[in-house]
Amino acid sequence: MMRTGIEIIRNYSKSFVLWNMALDENNGPFVPGFGTSTCRGLLKVEQQSKQFQYTLDYYALAHFQQMRAAQGGKA
């Protein structure tokens, strides 16, 4: 995520799409027929306890958002 975010900023992009907001502890659910997912969510949800934790991608996105706001963009 950090490398992707930096590359996006360098190329003057105005948007960035993150597909998964929250996934379980195994980075699921998975789409049948597409193999193992390499996707990560911004939140990781424990299925048994229903507790969640923020992932590194969440904090990276927050960091990039602050940079965008400092450049005059909307926060």
pLDDT digits (tens, 9 = 90+) for 31-61: 777 766 677 889 999 999 999 999 988 998 8
Answer yes or no: is pLDDT of 69 > 70: no
The stretches of 1-75 forming alpha helices (DSSP H) are: 2-10, 56-70
CB 64 within 8 A of CB 75: no
pTM of the model: 0.66
pLDDT reported for residue 43: 93
**Of 20-24, 39-43, 68-72, minimum mean pLDDT range:** 68-72
